[in-house]
Amino acid sequence: MSDLTGDPEMGRLLSELAAPPDLFGTIRANLIREQACGLFPDEEDGNSLRDIVQWLDDERASNHIRAERQGLSSLSEWGMDGEGFFSHKEKKFFQVVGLKVTSPYREVGTWSQPILDNAGTGLVGLLIRRAGDRTYFLMQAKPDVGNRNVVQLGPTVQFNPGNYIDNKKIRKPFLFDDFLHDRGFVPVMTSRQSEEGGRFYKEEQVHKILLLQGGRDLALPSSHRWLSSGQVRFFLHLGDVVNSSARSILACLL
């Protein structure tokens, strides 16, 4: 290993190894050790970097999404409600509302704008496991209609519970109940993070990190793969490959 003592940032990270106070601290310390060792992504056990890139390409090829811009009045299940908000007929998902803002601390003193008001609080979850001396993250190939490349690397789960509960039209995502009710895995961390306030009205996301206990096997759908910490760091540096929700929860650990 190269001499790290002259690097102030690495010195700060290594100082955190001294006394991890809890499970979260222990996992964080393990990740710092892995970063200090500088493990190259293709040295990882399991899926190689080539395998992960091919998997993402396959997921992009299998998710046939065609998105066309349409006038709002042409959307069959959406429209203006009695309060003047653009919303879904079942009052799920989100609504577009108008704001009139006054502030002495911005570029102009007052302005009006549309903003997204989501129904309920979303959940962003990350499942991790330890194998040998390495940490692995269960990542999702997440398709979204607004993505330039359709599919990005997302966290293990990313959903708004209210959209699925008592809704027979759409299928619950993988590990929905496990993350919603903290079932079957060891809780590592839970926190609330706010969304970007210029586009979302008072929105928060609950961030949960759970641990898969050693020796337990988990059957995965084709949309999910285990990535090592080195592989995750590799993809974080490749433009928009990793979506914003994954970046937000990974920032709690990396």
pLDDT digits (tens, 9 = 90+) for 48-70: 899 999 999 999 999 888 888 99
d(CA 103, CA 111): 9
Closest by Cα among 33, 46, 211 to 130: 211
pTM of the model: 0.85
* Residues above pLDDT 70, as percent of the chain: 88
pLDDT of residue 2: 44
Which residue(s) pair with 114 in the sheet?
A: 98
What are the DSSP calls for the chain, one per residue? ----TT-HHHHHHHHTTS---SHHHHHHHHHHHHHHHT--GGGSSSS-HHHHHHHHHHHHHH---------GGG-TTEEE-TTS-EEETTS-SEEEEEEEEE-TTSSSSEEEEEEEEESS-EEEEEEEEEETTEEEEEEEEEE-TT-TTSEEEE-SEEE-HHHHTT-SSSPPPTTHHHHHHT-SSEEEEEEEEEPPTTTBSS-EEEEEEEEPPTT------TTEEEEEHHHHHHHHTSTTSB-HHHHHHHTTT-
- Residue 44: pLDDT band with limits 50, 70, 90: low
145-164 as b/e: b if 16+ CB within 10 A: eebeebbbbbbbbbbbbbbb
Give residue 46's pLDDT. 66
Q: Considering only 39-48, 109-118, 219-228, which range has the smallest mean pLDDT? A: 39-48
Give the per-residue pLDDT at 206: 95
pLDDT of residue 67: 85
What's the pLDDT score for residue 38? 67
Q: What is the average pLDDT value for the chain, to the nearest integer?
A: 87
Q: What are the beta bridge partners of residue 125? A: 157, 208
C-alpha Rg value of the chain to the nearest Å: 21
Q: Which of the four pLDDT bands, split at 50, 70 and 90, describes residue 173? A: very high
Rounded Cα gap, residues 48 and 42, in angstroms: 5
